[in-house]
Amino acid sequence: MSDAVTRVLIADDQEMVRTGFRLILEAQPGIEVVGEAADGARCVELARRLRPDVCLVDVRMPRLDGLEVTRRLAGPDVAEPLRVVVVTTFDQDDYLYGALRGGAVGFLLKDAGPALLVEAVRAAARGDGLVSPAVTLRLLRNLDHGSTGDTPPVPLSERESEVVRLVAHGRTNQEIAAELHISLSTVKTHLTSVQLKLDARNRVEIAAWAWRTGRMRDG
């Protein structure tokens, strides 16, 4: 498993951005860029044919925008969804909500830096989600602002609740392990259990649930 290569597709209408991302990612061990697309329709075509582990998708592209690309590749009606990380210059709420509701597992601003780009790809490949720290708290506080009705109670253990609160604050698995003085594998076990209990697809949905239900104030 440690020798597995993460295969990445890059979609952006700017050639310089695609080249920059490729250079950053391919300088990392275990990451291979398997394709590039300059527009949304081409991205969907390549993604369905190549089945990459992670798709990096810009929001503003010709033919199909990144939000529509995300819905087609990772939306709730997709039989075999791909892992999409939306990368954009524009820190706008409608892009954030549209991307995550469309099934994206991550949302990254282009000025976040190379390290966070690599971390987002690795997180997505693991099935985790990553949102740029600059927008995490605002996003999670408002992600389900339109929800109505009561949320049924979910029985979480004390440790699971602690993990959920830290996820909702944007902590990585490694940071959660260090803060709670538990192993990384234990964090992952708790997250798997929480996902099953909440019927959540990823950690972003776990975090949204925590904000929506007031779990951030527990303890």
Give the tens place of pLDDT for each residue, 108-125: 888 878 888 998 899 888
Q: What DSSP designation does 75 have?
A: S
pLDDT in tens, the chain (219 residues): 346 899 999 999 999 999 999 999 999 999 999 999 999 999 999 999 999 999 999 999 999 998 999 999 998 888 889 999 998 886 666 677 778 778 888 888 888 788 889 988 998 888 777 776 666 656 655 654 444 445 556 788 999 999 998 887 777 788 889 999 999 889 989 998 998 898 876 777 787 788 777 665 544
Note the CATH architecture for domain 158-213. Answer: Orthogonal Bundle (1.10)
Q: Which letter, b or e, does each residue of 114-153 get, where b requires 16 or more Cβ atoms within 10 Å of its Cβ?
A: eebbebbbbbbbeebbbbbeebbeebbeebbeeeeeeeee
Q: Give the residue extent of every domain in the chain.
A: 6-131, 158-213
Q: What is the CATH number of domain 6-131?
A: 3.40.50.2300
The pLDDT, as a whole number, for residue 98 is 77
Give which of 157, 167, 161 is closest to 131, Cα–Cα: 167
The pLDDT, as a whole number, for residue 135 is 63
N-term to C-term CA, the chain: 37
Contact 74, 102 (CB under 8 A): yes
CA distances from residue 153 to 164, 206, 213 in whole angstroms, order as listed: 14, 14, 9
The pLDDT, as a whole number, for residue 149 is 46
The pLDDT, as a whole number, for residue 136 is 61
The pLDDT, as a whole number, for residue 111 is 81
pTM of the model: 0.69
